[in-house]
Structure 1
Amino acid sequence: MAMRVLVGCKRVIDYAVKIRVKPDKTGVVTEGVKHSLNPFDEIAVEEAVRLKEKKLASEVIAVSCGPPPCQETLRTALAMGVDRGIHVEIGGKDYETLQPIHVSKILAKLAQEEKVDLIILGKQAIDDDANQTAQMTAAVLDWPQGVFASKIEKMDGTLKIQREVDGGVEYVEAKLPAVISSDLRLNEPRYATLPNIMKAKKKQIAKKSISDLGVDITPRVEVLTVEDPPVREAGAKVESVEELLTKLKDLGRI
Protein backbone atom coordinates (compact mmCIF):
# COMPACT_ATOMS: atom_id res chain seq x y z
CA MET A 1 0.00 0.00 0.00
CA ALA A 2 1.32 3.46 -0.93
CA MET A 3 2.33 5.75 1.93
CA ARG A 4 1.28 9.27 2.78
CA VAL A 5 4.38 11.33 3.46
CA LEU A 6 4.83 14.54 5.49
CA VAL A 7 7.97 16.65 4.92
CA GLY A 8 9.25 19.60 6.95
CA CYS A 9 10.29 22.78 5.12
CA LYS A 10 12.08 25.36 7.24
CA ARG A 11 12.69 28.88 5.94
CA VAL A 12 16.26 29.87 6.78
CA ILE A 13 18.71 32.61 5.85
CA ASP A 14 20.28 31.56 2.54
CA TYR A 15 23.54 29.63 2.90
CA ALA A 16 25.39 32.20 0.73
CA VAL A 17 24.51 35.18 2.97
CA LYS A 18 27.10 36.54 5.41
CA ILE A 19 25.43 36.50 8.84
CA ARG A 20 25.46 39.71 10.90
CA VAL A 21 24.72 39.92 14.63
CA LYS A 22 22.21 42.58 15.74
CA PRO A 23 23.74 45.56 17.59
CA ASP A 24 21.76 44.68 20.74
CA LYS A 25 23.17 41.07 20.67
CA THR A 26 19.67 39.51 20.80
CA GLY A 27 20.04 37.56 17.56
CA VAL A 28 21.07 37.90 13.92
CA VAL A 29 19.83 40.38 11.31
CA THR A 30 17.00 38.85 9.25
CA GLU A 31 15.33 41.97 7.78
CA GLY A 32 16.10 42.48 4.11
CA VAL A 33 18.15 39.28 4.02
CA LYS A 34 17.65 36.56 1.40
CA HIS A 35 15.96 33.42 2.76
CA SER A 36 15.53 29.99 1.17
CA LEU A 37 14.47 26.42 1.89
CA ASN A 38 16.82 24.74 4.36
CA PRO A 39 19.21 22.58 2.23
CA PHE A 40 18.69 19.43 4.34
CA ASP A 41 14.91 19.89 4.07
CA GLU A 42 15.36 20.20 0.30
CA ILE A 43 16.94 16.72 0.37
CA ALA A 44 13.97 15.47 2.43
CA VAL A 45 11.53 16.91 -0.14
CA GLU A 46 13.45 15.29 -3.00
CA GLU A 47 13.35 11.88 -1.28
CA ALA A 48 9.60 12.17 -0.67
CA VAL A 49 8.96 13.12 -4.30
CA ARG A 50 11.10 10.18 -5.49
CA LEU A 51 9.03 7.83 -3.34
CA LYS A 52 5.92 9.14 -5.08
CA GLU A 53 7.50 8.74 -8.51
CA LYS A 54 8.26 5.09 -7.65
CA LYS A 55 4.58 4.65 -6.70
CA LEU A 56 5.63 3.97 -3.09
CA ALA A 57 3.91 7.16 -1.84
CA SER A 58 0.40 8.27 -2.75
CA GLU A 59 0.65 11.86 -1.48
CA VAL A 60 3.39 14.20 -0.26
CA ILE A 61 2.46 17.08 2.08
CA ALA A 62 4.92 19.86 3.00
CA VAL A 63 4.74 21.80 6.28
CA SER A 64 6.36 25.10 7.21
CA CYS A 65 6.03 26.99 10.51
CA GLY A 66 6.58 30.73 10.63
CA PRO A 67 5.53 34.12 9.22
CA PRO A 68 3.74 34.68 5.87
CA PRO A 69 6.95 34.50 3.74
CA CYS A 70 7.10 30.77 4.64
CA GLN A 71 4.52 30.31 1.89
CA GLU A 72 7.26 31.05 -0.67
CA THR A 73 9.34 28.29 0.93
CA LEU A 74 6.40 25.93 0.54
CA ARG A 75 6.03 26.99 -3.12
CA THR A 76 9.62 25.82 -3.70
CA ALA A 77 8.68 22.38 -2.36
CA LEU A 78 5.47 22.35 -4.43
CA ALA A 79 7.48 23.18 -7.55
CA MET A 80 9.73 20.18 -6.82
CA GLY A 81 6.70 17.88 -6.91
CA VAL A 82 5.00 18.04 -3.51
CA ASP A 83 1.20 17.74 -3.76
CA ARG A 84 0.07 20.34 -1.22
CA GLY A 85 1.32 22.49 1.62
CA ILE A 86 0.35 23.40 5.17
CA HIS A 87 1.46 26.74 6.57
CA VAL A 88 1.35 26.97 10.37
CA GLU A 89 1.36 30.73 10.79
CA ILE A 90 3.53 31.94 13.69
CA GLY A 91 4.84 35.48 13.80
CA GLY A 92 6.46 38.12 15.98
CA LYS A 93 7.95 37.16 19.32
CA ASP A 94 6.42 33.67 19.16
CA TYR A 95 8.40 32.91 16.00
CA GLU A 96 11.63 34.33 17.43
CA THR A 97 11.40 31.95 20.41
CA LEU A 98 10.10 28.92 18.46
CA GLN A 99 12.21 25.88 19.36
CA PRO A 100 12.61 22.30 18.04
CA ILE A 101 10.39 20.89 20.81
CA HIS A 102 7.53 23.14 19.65
CA VAL A 103 8.00 22.22 15.98
CA SER A 104 8.10 18.51 16.87
CA LYS A 105 4.74 18.78 18.64
CA ILE A 106 3.26 20.69 15.67
CA LEU A 107 4.52 18.04 13.22
CA ALA A 108 3.24 15.22 15.44
CA LYS A 109 -0.22 16.80 15.61
CA LEU A 110 -0.35 17.30 11.84
CA ALA A 111 0.88 13.75 11.21
CA GLN A 112 -2.01 12.42 13.27
CA GLU A 113 -4.56 14.72 11.62
CA GLU A 114 -3.35 13.85 8.10
CA LYS A 115 -2.95 10.12 8.96
CA VAL A 116 0.53 9.97 7.39
CA ASP A 117 2.73 6.87 7.34
CA LEU A 118 6.12 8.58 7.09
CA ILE A 119 7.68 11.88 8.17
CA ILE A 120 10.89 12.97 6.43
CA LEU A 121 12.82 15.93 7.86
CA GLY A 122 16.23 17.43 7.23
CA LYS A 123 18.71 16.20 9.84
CA GLN A 124 19.30 19.81 10.93
CA ALA A 125 18.67 23.41 9.92
CA ILE A 126 21.63 25.52 8.83
CA ASP A 127 20.61 28.43 11.08
CA ASP A 128 20.54 26.85 14.56
CA ASP A 129 22.16 23.45 13.71
CA ALA A 130 20.02 21.95 16.50
CA ASN A 131 19.59 18.44 14.99
CA GLN A 132 16.69 17.74 17.38
CA THR A 133 13.35 18.00 15.57
CA ALA A 134 13.25 14.55 13.93
CA GLN A 135 14.23 12.76 17.14
CA MET A 136 11.74 14.73 19.24
CA THR A 137 8.93 14.18 16.71
CA ALA A 138 9.52 10.41 16.84
CA ALA A 139 9.47 10.58 20.65
CA VAL A 140 6.20 12.57 20.77
CA LEU A 141 4.51 10.11 18.38
CA ASP A 142 6.28 7.05 19.85
CA TRP A 143 7.27 6.05 16.29
CA PRO A 144 10.51 4.34 15.18
CA GLN A 145 13.17 6.70 13.85
CA GLY A 146 15.97 6.44 11.29
CA VAL A 147 18.12 9.55 11.56
CA PHE A 148 21.02 10.65 9.28
CA ALA A 149 19.70 8.43 6.47
CA SER A 150 21.98 8.16 3.43
CA LYS A 151 19.78 5.57 1.68
CA ILE A 152 16.17 4.41 2.14
CA GLU A 153 14.59 1.23 0.82
CA LYS A 154 10.93 0.32 1.33
CA MET A 155 10.01 -3.29 2.04
CA ASP A 156 6.69 -4.79 3.13
CA GLY A 157 5.56 -2.54 5.99
CA THR A 158 9.14 -1.59 6.90
CA LEU A 159 11.94 0.69 5.79
CA LYS A 160 15.58 -0.33 5.50
CA ILE A 161 17.71 2.71 6.33
CA GLN A 162 21.42 3.10 5.63
CA ARG A 163 23.23 5.45 8.03
CA GLU A 164 26.79 6.71 7.96
CA VAL A 165 28.33 6.38 11.43
CA ASP A 166 31.84 6.95 12.81
CA GLY A 167 32.80 3.30 12.35
CA GLY A 168 31.44 2.93 8.81
CA VAL A 169 27.88 2.20 7.63
CA GLU A 170 24.99 1.03 9.80
CA TYR A 171 21.73 -0.53 8.56
CA VAL A 172 18.53 -0.28 10.59
CA GLU A 173 14.98 -1.45 9.91
CA ALA A 174 12.00 0.59 11.04
CA LYS A 175 8.36 -0.42 10.97
CA LEU A 176 5.91 2.09 9.54
CA PRO A 177 4.78 4.63 10.59
CA ALA A 178 8.25 6.13 11.13
CA VAL A 179 10.31 9.33 11.19
CA ILE A 180 13.35 9.75 8.94
CA SER A 181 15.95 12.54 8.87
CA SER A 182 17.95 13.10 5.70
CA ASP A 183 21.73 13.23 5.55
CA LEU A 184 23.72 15.04 2.86
CA ARG A 185 24.34 11.96 0.71
CA LEU A 186 20.74 10.72 0.59
CA ASN A 187 20.20 12.35 -2.83
CA GLU A 188 20.82 15.42 -4.95
CA PRO A 189 17.74 17.67 -5.07
CA ARG A 190 16.37 18.58 -8.49
CA TYR A 191 16.00 22.08 -9.87
CA ALA A 192 12.39 23.12 -10.25
CA THR A 193 11.53 23.70 -13.92
CA LEU A 194 9.60 26.79 -15.03
CA PRO A 195 6.43 24.79 -15.90
CA ASN A 196 6.49 23.18 -12.43
CA ILE A 197 7.04 26.59 -10.79
CA MET A 198 3.93 27.85 -12.62
CA LYS A 199 1.95 24.73 -11.60
CA ALA A 200 3.03 25.23 -7.97
CA LYS A 201 1.24 28.59 -7.88
CA LYS A 202 -2.07 26.76 -8.32
CA LYS A 203 -1.42 24.08 -5.69
CA GLN A 204 -3.20 24.33 -2.35
CA ILE A 205 -1.56 25.74 0.78
CA ALA A 206 -3.77 25.39 3.87
CA LYS A 207 -3.30 27.88 6.70
CA LYS A 208 -3.37 26.81 10.32
CA SER A 209 -2.72 28.61 13.59
CA ILE A 210 -1.18 27.35 16.82
CA SER A 211 -4.61 27.58 18.48
CA ASP A 212 -6.00 25.26 15.76
CA LEU A 213 -3.43 22.64 16.75
CA GLY A 214 -3.56 23.21 20.51
CA VAL A 215 0.23 23.25 20.91
CA ASP A 216 1.91 25.19 23.74
CA ILE A 217 4.83 27.21 22.30
CA THR A 218 5.98 28.78 25.57
CA PRO A 219 9.81 29.15 25.31
CA ARG A 220 11.81 26.48 27.15
CA VAL A 221 15.19 28.12 26.50
CA GLU A 222 16.18 31.77 26.94
CA VAL A 223 18.83 33.29 24.68
CA LEU A 224 21.04 35.50 26.83
CA THR A 225 23.33 36.95 24.15
CA VAL A 226 24.48 36.31 20.61
CA GLU A 227 28.13 37.12 19.84
CA ASP A 228 30.27 37.19 16.71
CA PRO A 229 32.95 34.46 16.70
CA PRO A 230 36.39 35.72 17.77
CA VAL A 231 38.51 37.15 14.96
CA ARG A 232 41.29 34.77 13.99
CA GLU A 233 44.75 36.13 14.71
CA ALA A 234 47.17 36.60 11.82
CA GLY A 235 49.63 33.77 11.19
CA ALA A 236 53.41 34.04 10.91
CA LYS A 237 55.75 32.64 8.27
CA VAL A 238 58.85 30.67 9.23
CA GLU A 239 61.83 29.81 7.04
CA SER A 240 62.54 26.29 8.29
CA VAL A 241 61.25 23.36 10.35
CA GLU A 242 63.82 24.17 13.04
CA GLU A 243 62.46 27.72 13.37
CA LEU A 244 58.89 26.34 13.54
CA LEU A 245 59.83 23.93 16.34
CA THR A 246 61.62 26.71 18.25
CA LYS A 247 58.54 28.98 18.02
CA LEU A 248 56.23 26.18 19.12
CA LYS A 249 58.47 25.43 22.12
CA ASP A 250 58.59 29.12 23.05
CA LEU A 251 54.78 29.25 22.94
CA GLY A 252 54.51 26.12 25.08
CA ARG A 253 52.72 24.17 22.34
CA ILE A 254 55.16 21.22 22.42
Structure 2
Amino acid sequence: MPAAAAVPAENRDTASVSVFHGVPGLTVDVYANGEELLPDFKPGTLTEPQSLPAGTYDIEVFADGEGPDGNPAIRKSIDVPAGANATVAAHLTEQGDPTLTAFVNDVSDIPAGQSRLTVRHVAAAPAVDVRADGTPVVERLTNPNEKSLEVPAGTVSADVVLAGTDTVAIGPADLNLAEGTTTIVYAWGSAEDDNLALKTQTIGGMETAPGGVDAGESGAMAAHNESATAWLVWGTAGAVAVAGLLAARRRHPRSD
Protein backbone atom coordinates (compact mmCIF):
# COMPACT_ATOMS: atom_id res chain seq x y z
CA MET A 1 0.00 0.00 0.00
CA PRO A 2 1.20 3.58 -0.47
CA ALA A 3 3.15 5.20 2.32
CA ALA A 4 1.00 7.07 4.79
CA ALA A 5 2.03 10.65 5.40
CA ALA A 6 3.00 11.89 8.82
CA VAL A 7 0.38 13.95 10.64
CA PRO A 8 1.09 17.69 10.17
CA ALA A 9 2.18 19.29 13.43
CA GLU A 10 -0.33 22.08 13.04
CA ASN A 11 -3.29 19.67 12.83
CA ARG A 12 -4.22 19.52 16.51
CA ASP A 13 -7.92 18.62 16.33
CA THR A 14 -7.75 15.36 14.40
CA ALA A 15 -5.86 12.07 14.37
CA SER A 16 -4.68 9.85 11.51
CA VAL A 17 -5.87 6.30 12.13
CA SER A 18 -5.35 3.04 10.23
CA VAL A 19 -6.74 -0.33 11.25
CA PHE A 20 -5.30 -3.80 10.78
CA HIS A 21 -7.44 -6.93 11.01
CA GLY A 22 -5.14 -9.64 12.28
CA VAL A 23 -7.54 -12.32 13.57
CA PRO A 24 -7.66 -15.32 11.23
CA GLY A 25 -11.08 -16.59 10.23
CA LEU A 26 -13.19 -13.87 11.88
CA THR A 27 -15.49 -11.65 9.82
CA VAL A 28 -17.44 -8.94 11.67
CA ASP A 29 -19.92 -6.09 11.39
CA VAL A 30 -19.01 -2.93 13.29
CA TYR A 31 -21.35 -0.21 14.55
CA ALA A 32 -20.50 3.22 15.96
CA ASN A 33 -23.07 5.22 17.92
CA GLY A 34 -25.77 2.83 16.67
CA GLU A 35 -24.91 3.13 12.97
CA GLU A 36 -23.32 0.39 10.88
CA LEU A 37 -19.87 1.44 9.74
CA LEU A 38 -18.57 -1.52 7.83
CA PRO A 39 -20.14 -4.93 7.19
CA ASP A 40 -18.31 -8.13 6.29
CA PHE A 41 -14.86 -6.90 7.30
CA LYS A 42 -12.38 -9.69 6.70
CA PRO A 43 -9.04 -10.56 8.33
CA GLY A 44 -5.63 -9.89 6.86
CA THR A 45 -6.39 -6.36 5.66
CA LEU A 46 -5.00 -2.95 6.58
CA THR A 47 -7.04 0.18 5.88
CA GLU A 48 -5.75 3.40 4.41
CA PRO A 49 -5.23 6.10 7.08
CA GLN A 50 -8.28 8.19 7.86
CA SER A 51 -8.36 11.67 9.41
CA LEU A 52 -10.72 11.54 12.40
CA PRO A 53 -11.94 14.32 14.67
CA ALA A 54 -10.61 13.82 18.17
CA GLY A 55 -13.30 12.60 20.54
CA THR A 56 -15.03 9.55 22.00
CA TYR A 57 -16.95 6.96 19.98
CA ASP A 58 -19.27 4.20 21.24
CA ILE A 59 -18.49 0.98 19.39
CA GLU A 60 -20.56 -2.20 19.14
CA VAL A 61 -19.19 -5.27 17.42
CA PHE A 62 -21.33 -8.15 16.15
CA ALA A 63 -20.53 -11.44 14.52
CA ASP A 64 -21.13 -11.08 10.79
CA GLY A 65 -24.88 -10.72 10.15
CA GLU A 66 -25.98 -10.68 13.80
CA GLY A 67 -26.36 -6.92 14.37
CA PRO A 68 -27.86 -4.63 15.34
CA ASP A 69 -30.66 -6.46 17.20
CA GLY A 70 -28.52 -9.21 18.68
CA ASN A 71 -26.16 -9.06 21.60
CA PRO A 72 -22.86 -7.42 20.65
CA ALA A 73 -19.66 -9.30 21.25
CA ILE A 74 -18.36 -6.08 22.75
CA ARG A 75 -19.66 -2.64 23.56
CA LYS A 76 -16.90 -0.14 24.26
CA SER A 77 -16.06 3.55 24.09
CA ILE A 78 -12.93 4.44 22.18
CA ASP A 79 -11.03 7.69 22.58
CA VAL A 80 -9.35 9.17 19.51
CA PRO A 81 -6.58 11.50 20.77
CA ALA A 82 -5.83 14.69 18.88
CA GLY A 83 -2.67 14.85 16.81
CA ALA A 84 -1.82 11.15 16.91
CA ASN A 85 -0.78 8.91 14.04
CA ALA A 86 -2.06 5.54 15.19
CA THR A 87 -2.80 2.03 14.03
CA VAL A 88 -5.51 -0.07 15.64
CA ALA A 89 -4.64 -3.77 15.43
CA ALA A 90 -7.25 -6.44 16.00
CA HIS A 91 -5.37 -9.61 16.84
CA LEU A 92 -5.02 -12.61 19.11
CA THR A 93 -3.44 -12.64 22.53
CA GLU A 94 -0.61 -15.08 23.18
CA GLN A 95 -3.29 -17.46 24.52
CA GLY A 96 -5.38 -17.13 21.34
CA ASP A 97 -8.17 -14.83 22.55
CA PRO A 98 -9.36 -11.99 20.27
CA THR A 99 -8.32 -8.54 21.44
CA LEU A 100 -7.59 -5.12 20.06
CA THR A 101 -4.56 -2.89 20.63
CA ALA A 102 -3.99 0.60 19.26
CA PHE A 103 -0.40 1.74 18.79
CA VAL A 104 0.91 5.28 18.38
CA ASN A 105 3.18 5.35 15.32
CA ASP A 106 6.54 7.12 15.66
CA VAL A 107 6.61 9.84 12.99
CA SER A 108 9.61 11.77 14.33
CA ASP A 109 12.44 12.76 11.96
CA ILE A 110 14.84 10.05 10.78
CA PRO A 111 18.53 10.81 10.04
CA ALA A 112 19.54 11.00 6.38
CA GLY A 113 20.35 7.60 4.90
CA GLN A 114 18.41 5.81 7.64
CA SER A 115 15.05 4.08 7.93
CA ARG A 116 12.95 3.15 10.96
CA LEU A 117 11.87 -0.45 11.45
CA THR A 118 9.14 -1.21 13.98
CA VAL A 119 8.17 -4.78 14.84
CA ARG A 120 4.88 -5.59 16.60
CA HIS A 121 4.05 -8.99 18.05
CA VAL A 122 0.29 -9.48 17.69
CA ALA A 123 0.21 -13.26 17.19
CA ALA A 124 -0.96 -16.18 19.30
CA ALA A 125 2.63 -17.29 19.82
CA PRO A 126 5.32 -17.19 22.52
CA ALA A 127 8.23 -14.74 22.62
CA VAL A 128 10.08 -14.36 19.33
CA ASP A 129 13.29 -12.95 17.90
CA VAL A 130 13.26 -10.98 14.66
CA ARG A 131 16.27 -11.36 12.37
CA ALA A 132 17.50 -9.17 9.52
CA ASP A 133 19.76 -11.00 7.07
CA GLY A 134 20.15 -13.72 9.69
CA THR A 135 21.18 -11.42 12.54
CA PRO A 136 18.80 -10.91 15.50
CA VAL A 137 17.77 -7.25 15.71
CA VAL A 138 14.81 -7.67 18.09
CA GLU A 139 15.01 -10.29 20.84
CA ARG A 140 12.40 -11.87 23.10
CA LEU A 141 9.51 -9.75 21.85
CA THR A 142 6.20 -10.72 23.46
CA ASN A 143 2.56 -10.09 22.55
CA PRO A 144 1.34 -7.26 22.38
CA ASN A 145 4.62 -5.36 22.53
CA GLU A 146 6.69 -3.53 19.93
CA LYS A 147 10.28 -2.51 19.32
CA SER A 148 11.77 0.13 16.99
CA LEU A 149 15.24 0.46 15.44
CA GLU A 150 16.89 2.94 13.13
CA VAL A 151 18.73 1.06 10.38
CA PRO A 152 20.52 1.95 7.14
CA ALA A 153 18.04 2.27 4.27
CA GLY A 154 17.98 -0.70 1.91
CA THR A 155 16.47 -4.14 1.39
CA VAL A 156 16.81 -6.78 4.10
CA SER A 157 15.62 -10.37 4.39
CA ALA A 158 13.62 -10.67 7.61
CA ASP A 159 12.33 -13.69 9.44
CA VAL A 160 10.82 -14.46 12.84
CA VAL A 161 12.18 -17.28 15.00
CA LEU A 162 11.20 -18.65 18.38
CA ALA A 163 13.14 -16.69 21.00
CA GLY A 164 16.65 -17.98 21.53
CA THR A 165 16.46 -20.54 18.71
CA ASP A 166 16.90 -20.87 14.96
CA THR A 167 13.39 -22.30 14.56
CA VAL A 168 11.75 -20.14 11.88
CA ALA A 169 8.12 -19.29 12.65
CA ILE A 170 7.53 -16.74 9.86
CA GLY A 171 9.41 -15.85 6.69
CA PRO A 172 11.86 -15.06 5.36
CA ALA A 173 10.46 -12.01 3.55
CA ASP A 174 12.25 -9.14 1.83
CA LEU A 175 11.62 -5.71 3.38
CA ASN A 176 12.33 -2.53 1.42
CA LEU A 177 13.36 -0.07 4.13
CA ALA A 178 13.25 3.25 2.28
CA GLU A 179 15.09 6.31 3.51
CA GLY A 180 13.02 8.56 5.75
CA THR A 181 10.20 6.07 6.26
CA THR A 182 8.88 3.93 9.08
CA THR A 183 8.18 0.34 8.12
CA ILE A 184 5.97 -1.44 10.63
CA VAL A 185 5.96 -5.24 10.57
CA TYR A 186 3.13 -7.12 12.28
CA ALA A 187 3.69 -10.76 13.21
CA TRP A 188 0.11 -12.08 13.37
CA GLY A 189 -1.97 -15.24 13.26
CA SER A 190 -1.79 -18.38 15.37
CA ALA A 191 1.14 -20.75 15.88
CA GLU A 192 -1.22 -23.55 16.94
CA ASP A 193 -3.27 -23.17 13.76
CA ASP A 194 -0.13 -22.89 11.61
CA ASN A 195 -1.20 -19.63 9.96
CA LEU A 196 1.43 -17.18 11.24
CA ALA A 197 2.15 -14.38 8.76
CA LEU A 198 3.71 -10.94 8.34
CA LYS A 199 1.89 -7.73 7.42
CA THR A 200 3.73 -4.49 6.67
CA GLN A 201 2.69 -0.86 6.94
CA THR A 202 4.77 2.06 5.63
CA ILE A 203 4.62 5.67 6.83
CA GLY A 204 6.65 8.27 4.92
CA GLY A 205 7.65 11.91 5.17
CA MET A 206 10.27 11.78 7.94
CA GLU A 207 13.41 12.56 5.90
CA THR A 208 16.19 14.66 7.43
CA ALA A 209 18.59 16.85 5.44
CA PRO A 210 22.13 15.40 5.23
CA GLY A 211 23.48 18.23 7.39
CA GLY A 212 21.36 16.98 10.27
CA VAL A 213 22.90 13.51 10.46
CA ASP A 214 24.30 12.43 13.81
CA ALA A 215 27.75 11.05 12.93
CA GLY A 216 27.52 8.55 15.74
CA GLU A 217 24.54 6.83 14.09
CA SER A 218 25.73 6.75 10.48
CA GLY A 219 26.15 3.30 8.94
CA ALA A 220 25.16 1.35 12.04
CA MET A 221 22.07 -0.50 13.15
CA ALA A 222 21.39 1.48 16.31
CA ALA A 223 18.69 0.73 18.84
CA HIS A 224 16.03 3.41 18.84
CA ASN A 225 13.75 4.28 21.72
CA GLU A 226 10.75 2.00 21.73
CA SER A 227 7.77 3.45 19.93
CA ALA A 228 5.18 5.15 22.12
CA THR A 229 3.37 2.54 24.19
CA ALA A 230 -0.05 1.34 23.18
CA TRP A 231 -2.62 4.07 23.94
CA LEU A 232 -5.59 1.75 23.96
CA VAL A 233 -6.20 -1.94 24.66
CA TRP A 234 -9.70 -3.43 24.64
CA GLY A 235 -11.14 -6.85 23.93
CA THR A 236 -12.38 -8.51 20.68
CA ALA A 237 -11.12 -8.41 17.18
CA GLY A 238 -14.30 -7.06 15.70
CA ALA A 239 -13.57 -3.39 16.26
CA VAL A 240 -10.97 -3.45 13.51
CA ALA A 241 -13.28 -1.57 11.16
CA VAL A 242 -13.73 1.46 13.40
CA ALA A 243 -11.45 3.92 11.64
CA GLY A 244 -12.96 3.97 8.18
CA LEU A 245 -16.11 6.01 8.73
CA LEU A 246 -15.97 7.37 12.27
CA ALA A 247 -15.47 11.00 11.31
CA ALA A 248 -19.09 11.46 10.29
CA ARG A 249 -20.38 10.26 13.64
CA ARG A 250 -18.23 11.98 16.22
CA ARG A 251 -19.72 12.62 19.61
CA HIS A 252 -18.43 14.64 22.59
CA PRO A 253 -17.05 12.64 25.54
CA ARG A 254 -19.67 11.68 28.07
CA SER A 255 -19.61 13.23 31.49
CA ASP A 256 -20.28 9.96 33.32
TM-score when normalising by structure 2: 0.25
The higher radius of gyration belongs to 1
> Larger % of helix: which?
1
Is the strand fraction higher in 1 or 2?
Answer: 2
